Amino acid sequence: MISGDSILVSLVRLVDSLPFPPPPTQRKRGRQQTYSDQLLVKALVVMIIRRLYTAWALLAFLHQDDPVVAQLRPLLTEHGQCPTRRTWERRLAALPPTLPGLIGRLGRELVRVLNPWARQGHGTACDSTMVRAHGGVWHKKDRDAGVVPHSSIDTDAHWSKSGWHGWWYGWKLHLAVSLGPLRIPLAAEFTVANVADSEVAPLLFIHLPAEVRYVLGDQHYNTPELRAECGRHNRELVATRRGAYPHTDGGVEVRRIFHQLRSQAIEPFNGLFKNLFEWGGQMPVKSLRRCQLLALGAVLLYQLVLLYQHRHHQLVVRDNDWPGTPYGTVATLGLNGAHCECPVGGRACPCRRWPRIKPGFAHEQSRARLGHTPAPGHGRYGTGQIRAVGLLENQRT
């Protein structure tokens, strides 16, 4: 039979099993926190999947008359009460600095249970990917003059340039992903666009599993400081050398092989990640702290889906479906796909994100198996419902 809980409810329940840091042994001064970080991460999972970008939208969503929402309400309460709007805003704003550590701990746990290097060397690929800022761009002449010509400009973002994208205004998502057919995010950081990759790399390295022996990167990671940092942990940094091509030194052929492994791991993952969460264009929010919350929360959600699939024995790698991606991850998140054939249609339809895993699956049957009843009028808070068509095909007991 099909499980009664929706995938969203199951993912929220799974947050309680994440490796959160132990509580401090010594009591802090001042007023103590009423709500735990687990509750905030649960709310973050719901906000990312359902595209709720403010505390007000989250509370409005929890007031919907919906079977899934009815299951979520008790999961988003502690001590018999739900945080107020101001409490959600204040605690969520303080959450981003804790997310890289949680991502690192969960990444090490996934390496332990999934063993992604069973048929390959113990290596990881590091790189940064561009994410454009929400709204307009703040040109250099206006920034130097201290003039903000339009209110849509995110003044926390900055400019950067790459050989592929050229100039862009926004942010950088720094990632470390395991090599092999199963790509697991092991570490993540989110910064403004003008921060160099080599400056953020040590923050990624401290979260890598102890089993990692090779760190692959591009020319921006080829610095003496990063080589020394890797050497202290018995790791080898393999990075592209600067200078005109073709290189003719003795190690060029070996580096070419490692560079191909890196490209096959990090580049497809960056593209898949941004397609899943529809961030190929712009971030949906403004300010560094809010963008950090969503971007790092999305990396944590991706890890959470991997853990969910492992515990339900559904983690199968099929290179013909999504190369190097566990089958069902795209369907589980359901944030990429064509529009459905629902009579309502358009952006108001809560089932508009239709996955391409099962293109021939009956529309009404799939919605019934999702256990989702849209709110009256297909309201704005119904968008972004989890799509688990491919995953639910295997979710039988």
Tell me: the pLDDT tens digits for 23-50?
777 777 877 888 999 999 999 999 999 9
Residue 124 lies in a domain: yes
Quick one: pLDDT at residue 232? 92
What average pLDDT does the segment 9-14 reach? 94
Tell me: the pLDDT tens digits for 157-176?
999 988 777 899 999 999 99
Residue 378 lies in a domain: no
Is the pLDDT assigned to residue 230 strictly greater than 60? yes
Token pair 């593209």: residue: 271
* Res. 68 pLDDT band, cuts 50 70 90: very high
Exposed, middle or buried, 42 (CB in 10 Å: 0-12/13-18/19+)? buried
Residue 260 lies in a domain: yes
Token pair 């890289």: residue: 100
| Number of residues that make up the chain | 397
Quick one: pLDDT at residue 53? 93
End-to-end CA distance of the chain: 6
Sequence-ordered list of residues with C-beta below 8 angstroms from that of 197, at least 6 positions apart, any chain:
126, 127, 128, 172, 174, 217, 218, 220, 221
Q: How far apart are CA 11 and CA 87, in angstroms?
A: 23
Is the pLDDT assigned to residue 59 strictly greater than 90? yes
Q: How far apart are CA 132 and CA 284, in angstroms?
A: 10
Is the pLDDT assigned to residue 52 strictly greater than 70? yes
Residue 111: its H or E element: helix 99-114
Residue 33 lies in a domain: no
Of 40-49, 143-152, 183-192, 236-245, which range is least confident?
236-245
Domain that holds residue 178: 99-287
Is the pLDDT assigned to residue 291 strictly greater than 70? yes
Residue 306 lies in a domain: no
What average pLDDT does the segment 59-88 reach? 93
Can you state the percent helix, strand and coil of the chain, rounding each to 5? 40, 15, 45
Tell me: the pLDDT tens digits for 71-81?
999 999 998 89
Residue 147 lies in a domain: yes
Residue 296 lies in a domain: no
The reported pTM is 0.80
> Of the candidates 371, 372, 366, which has an alpha carbon nearest to the alpha carbon of residue 354?
366
Quick one: pLDDT at residue 379? 31
Tell me: the pLDDT tens digits for 246-273?
666 666 666 777 777 777 778 888 887 7
* Res. 345 pLDDT band, cuts 50 70 90: very low
Residue 206's region, left for phi above 0, alpha for psi from -120 to 50, else beta, is: alpha
Is the pLDDT assigned to residue 307 strictly greater than 50? yes
Residue 183 lies in a domain: yes
Q: How far apart are CA 20 and CA 42, in angstroms?
A: 13
Is the pLDDT assigned to residue 153 strictly greater than 60? yes
355 vs 23, residue with greater confidence? 23
- The DSSP call for residue 135 is S
Quick one: pLDDT at residue 267? 81
Task: Please say whether the beta carbons of 151 and 136 come within 8 A.
Answer: no
Tally of domains in the chain: 1
* Res. 244 pLDDT band, cuts 50 70 90: low
Strand, helix or coil at 250? coil
Cα–chain center distance at 63: 27
* Res. 182 pLDDT band, cuts 50 70 90: confident
Token pair 């929220």: residue: 12
Of 15-29, 76-90, 177-191, 324-338, which range is least confident?
324-338
